[in-house]
Structure 1
Amino acid sequence: MGSIERKKSPELQAYPMKGGDGDSSYTNNSSYQKSLSEVAMSLINEAITEKLEVENFTSEHPLCIADLGCSVGPNTFIVVKNIINSVKLKYHTLTIPTPEFQVFFNDHASNDFNTLFKTLQTEKQYYAAGVPGSFYDRLFPCSSVHVIHSSFAIHWLSKVPDEVMEKGSPTYNKGRVHYVGSDEEVVKAYQRQYVKDMDGFLKARAEEVVRGGLVVVLVPGRPNEVPHSECIGNVLFEVLGSCLLNMAKEGKIEDGKVDSLNIPIYYASPQEVEEIVDRNGYFTIERIEGLPHIAEPETKHAAKRLTMGIRVGVEAVLKGYLEDEIIDGLFDSYCKRLEQVPSLFSSGGAAILFCVLRRNEK
């Protein structure tokens, strides 16, 4: 495979999920992600059965699997086990000798790899290794990985778009922490950053994936017909931003901190993803669809779970701007607001995109 021209960005930002195994950790607040991963398991099995070209692989070398944005578990271990079982079944069906398995767990260097590997089972079907680094850059040698998986990760941008931080510019995102409700220029800045990041993601994977290998992605997004303003993820961030503004009005935090705080997340539609993959040219989309929305029951307990789920995701972003006690107060206020708008839990503006990409031969 020829070399792919790609520029490495020195400005990548890292906001890992909250580590450890405490009450407020990602480990204990990722049941929603787990439920969607379980829904996707049968689809992953089908993709491996129908599209993974194991007959072109050699059993003399390990079959390599990578989970990008693995966080701290246990969800990553469940997914990896499912992938390996599906691959083994395909080898068995084709009466081909099953190779050994090597699994790479990837996340930013600041991820809590200690907790990840402490909870790794000693009796497993594979050799395990941690790979620190951004998945928007190269992580593995050329043509070395057979199956790449990423779940609830690539909606995170590599960084906040530079334009939205420039005071006096048309894209300066004053008074908001996200692009929803902002001027169209701000939305376009986020979209441009997403396109740039996804192009980098695809080019890096194109060099790493073997011929006949697959990239499987599960990521929050929005249906094609749903505008950004009605996407549930965006609405949740808009509520969080309003809570921050109220705290600023009360003098608990400085206005400037709200103005300079932006959450680097973008919710793409299936159409946007298809256009990026087609334009990139290194992969063919074998399957792309939205998974069924799993609605929370409209209860106060649901509001608390949703609050904690948002917190473990964005707390690393907030810590660069706010003290711990301010963050605690922010999410207390946020939870109360969510209790007042239970309709959010059954919003139709949500989509979890499931996408299977096959590496093109040319």
Structure 2
Amino acid sequence: MNGGDGYHSYVKNSSYQRGILETSNAIIEEEIAKKLDISTSTFCIADFGCSTGSNSFPAMHTIIEAVKQKYESSDLKTPEFYVCFNDSVSNDFNTLFNSLPSDRSYEASTVPGDFHLRLLPPSSVHFAYSSWALQWLSEVPKAAEGLKSSIWSGGEGKEVYAAYLGQFERDMESFLKSRAVEMVKDGIVALLIPALPAYWDPQKEFTIGTLADLLRSSLLDMAKKGRLCKAKSETFNFPCYIPTSEELIPILQKNNSFSIERMEILKTRTLLTVDGHVAALRAVKQNILTHEFGDKIIDETFNLLKKKLQSSHAYANASNDRTIVVVVILKRNDV
């Protein structure tokens, strides 16, 4: 399960999106200027979890322009650029290709498939990028299947939480192991990963994680009304995990193929209204829900979610959003 835009692209015109992308792009530009040490006639960039490209295209432009400047400052001939767009096989690549910028300075290709696995030839990628995609897991952890709770609930939720963290760790390790084979020595990886702060009050504040949990509770309400199967709704969980930055750091450090060159924690400040959150979450989750429960319950489920958000003190003020984004720059070691 991959996906690069979704919630992220729904708010692409908000002050959040401008601020996050401007800051993360500046970090990427700085690290390319300081750390890129590759001389080649062709330069390959891969975006893992590109979705339909609305957020990918500006990022690819930033990366390419920064690489051009690096080559020019080093008196090297500017290479030819190739961008490989990756997402799941169900992704709408037709929309992506129809939306490609006409003034782009690169050739484009796609590689559909699970980015937790090998997708590209060995030593073929010079710069890897992934934004708001690595929270998607390869599967719902088997230890959480059949349990009647979610990550954020009490009681049995602790067991579910541990199962999801373990799955996230395994998937991250697989992602980095795959990229280590595909990347050239000294290649750079830029990751934008949604995360949670170590401490926050779920009674007064919210995150992207609690939004998903409220959606799950809306499904349970639908089951109580007889609109869908109770047993299926009780054991349903999304294949998604939002880590804390404290959980993320040791996972990244375990992979000896990459060195952590830089890590920055950015606050999102989505400033979305209740209607905005409902629409954004629907953009991300609707296909999964339709696959599991059918399309007849979609409108009613999201109407229930809207009522839950409206009655919650935490969502009364958009500034109560405590979701963060961790920007990570890695460099391929010679190991």
Distance in 2, Cα, partners of 1:104 & 1:231: 35
Moved more, 101-110 or 346-355: 346-355
> Any idea what the Cα deviations from partners look like across 1:36-74, whole Å, max 9, x if unmatched?
2233111111111111113xx222xx1000111000022
2:140 aligned partner, one-letter code = V
- Indicate how the Cα distance of structure 1 residues 49 and 210 shifts in structure 2: closer, same or farther if over 3 A, else same: same
Distance 1:27 1:274, change over 3 A: closer
- Relative to 1, partners in 2 of residues 1:28 and 1:198: Cα closer, same or farther, differing over 3 Å? closer
Q: Which residue of 2 aligns with 1:179?
A: 151
Which residue does 2:231 correspond to in 1? 256
* Residue number in structure 2 paired with 1:324: 295
Whole-Å separation in 2 of the counterparts to 1:110 and 1:335? 28
Q: Given residue 179 of structure 1, which amino acid in structure 2 is its aligned partner?
A: I
Separation (CA, whole Å) in 1 of partners of 2:61 and 2:3: 23
Q: 1:226 to 1:211 in 2, by over 3 A?
A: farther
User: Counterpart of 1:123 in 2: which secondary structure?
Assistant: coil
Aligned partners of 2:89 and 2:268: how far apart in 1? Answer: 32
The runs of 5 or more residues in structure 2 that have no matched partner are none
Equivalent residue letter for 2:160: V
Aligned to 2:323: 350
Q: CA RMSD in A?
A: 2.3
In 2: Cα distance, 1:39 partner to 1:330 partner: 36
Q: Which residue is equivalent to 1:119?
A: 99
CA 336–80 in structure 1, closer or farther in 2 if over 3 Å, else same: same
Q: Kindly provide the amino acid, as one letter, of the partner of residue 249 in structure 2.
A: E
Alignment partner, residue 332 of structure 2: 359
- 1:204 matched residue in structure 2: 178
Identity, in percent, stands at 36
Seen in structure 2, the aligned counterparts of structure 1 residues 50 and 16 have a Cα distance that, compared at 3 Å, is closer
How big is each residue's C-alpha offset from its partner over 1:132-182, in whole Å with a ceiling of 9 and x where there is no partner? 11110011111111110000000111100012114xxxxx2x1x4x31114
Shift, 1:265, TM fit:
1.1
Correspondent of 2:218 among 220, 239, 243: 243
Deviations 1:296-321 (A, max 9, x none): 16xxxx11111111111111221122
**Are residue 100 (structure 1) and residue 93 (structure 2) matched?**
no
> 2:4 & 2:34 partners in 1: Cα distance?
34
Specify which of 81, 86, 103 is matched with residue 61 of structure 2.
81
Structure 1 residue 228: Cα displacement: 8.9
Counterpart position of 1:191 = 165
Alpha-carbon contact 1:67-1:148 (below 8 Å) kept: yes
SS of match in other structure, 1:280: coil
Moved more, 64-73 or 244-253: 244-253
Partner of 1:217: 191
Is the 2:260–2:330 Cα contact (8 Å) retained in structure 1? yes
Instruction: State the 1:31 CA deviation.
Output: 4.3
Tell me what 1:336 maps to: 307
2:275 — aligned with what?
304
The 1:238/1:358 distance shift into structure 2, 3 A limit, reads same
Q: 1:311 to 1:250 in 2, by over 3 A?
A: same
Shift of 1:119: 0.8
- Output one character per residue of 1:68-118: Cα deviation in whole Å (capped at 9) or x when no partner: 100002211111011101111111111111100000010011100001101
Q: Aligned residue for 2:26?
A: 42
Is the partner of 1:258 in helix, strand or coil? helix
Shift of residue 340, structure 1, vs aligned partner: 2.9
| Other-structure match for 2:261 | 286
- TM-score normalised over the length of structure 1: 0.84
Counterpart of 1:160?
140
Contact in 2 for aligned 1:106/1:131 (Cα 8 Å) = yes
The size of the alignment, in residue pairs, is 328
Provide the rounded CA distance (Å) in 2 between the counterparts of 1:142 and 1:338.
Answer: 47
